[in-house]
């Protein structure tokens, strides 16, 4: 069973890059976050762990983590870029509440299958896809009715 760190080390070696303490710490922290996060949130988390890694280093490390398949950008936000780790996770889609910002993750095999079928129809080779549904969650709907 290959670990995320092995995967990242292999990727770096292949690219002739170094596995530094900073990169190790960022990797560890990214894996510890089980929600979507942005650069600032990761930065704050690192601070709490008594790490003083700079934002610049975070910005320079993220492309490496993405390229190595450990994390990816989510497409949900208009402003700051958001990320989530994907190592060991199956692909899933998102439902986002416009009022409270809550995110529901789901996976629907039938939707996955139909997407593949659409790609086939156009001779398109898919690499990734993102489906986000925005609207109002049950709780916010009932609040709005009041």
Partner DNA sequence: GTCACTGCAAACTATTTGCACGGAC
Partner DNA sequence: GTCCGTGCAAATAGTTTGCAGTGAC
Residue 130 contacts a second copy per CB under 8 A? yes
Residue 137 contacts a second copy per CB under 8 A? yes
Helix (H, G, I), strand (E, B) or coil at 82: strand
Give me the 86-125 binding string for DNA, x by CB under 7 A, dash otherwise. Answer: ----------------------------------------
Residue 14 contacts DNA per CB under 7 A? no
Pick the closest to residue 49 from 76, 80, 28 (CA basis): 28
Residue 22 contacts DNA per CB under 7 A? yes
Which two tokens mark 58? 């975070």
54 strand-pairing partners: none
Residue 100 contacts a second copy per CB under 8 A? no
Q: Which does 69 bind (CB under 5 to 8 A by kind): a second copy, DNA, none?
A: none
Which helix H or strand E contains 37, and what residues bound it? none
Question: Is 4 in contact with 70 (CB distance < 8 Å)?
Answer: yes
DSSP structural state of residue 80: S
**Least spacing, CB of residue 5 vs a second copy, in Å:** 27
Residue 101 contacts a second copy per CB under 8 A? no
* Residue 45 CA: distances (Å) to CA of 27, 29, 48, 96, 119: 12, 8, 5, 24, 39
* Between 61 and 68, CB nearer to DNA: 61
Contacting residues toward DNA, per CB under 7 A: 12, 16-23, 38-40, 52-57, 59-61, 79-81
């Amino acid at each position: 069973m290959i670990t995320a760190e092995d995967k990242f080390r292999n990727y770096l070696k292949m690219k002739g890059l170094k596995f530094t303490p900073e990169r190790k710490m960022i990797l560890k922290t990214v894996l510890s976050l089980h929600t979507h996060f942005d650069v600032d949130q990761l930065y704050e988390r690192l601070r709490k762990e008594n790490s003083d890694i700079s934002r610049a280093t975070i910005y320079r490390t993220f492309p490496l983590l993405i390229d190595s398949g450990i994390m990816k950008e989510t497409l949900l936000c208009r402003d700051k870029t958001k990320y989530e780790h994907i190592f060991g996770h199956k692909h899933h889609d998102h439902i986002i509440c416009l009022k409270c910002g809550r995110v529901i993750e789901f996976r629907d095999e039938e939707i996955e299958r139909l997407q593949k079928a659409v790609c086939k129809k156009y001779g398109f080779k898919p690499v990734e896809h993102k489906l986000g549904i925005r609207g109002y969650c049950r709780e916010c709907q009932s609040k709005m009715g009041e």
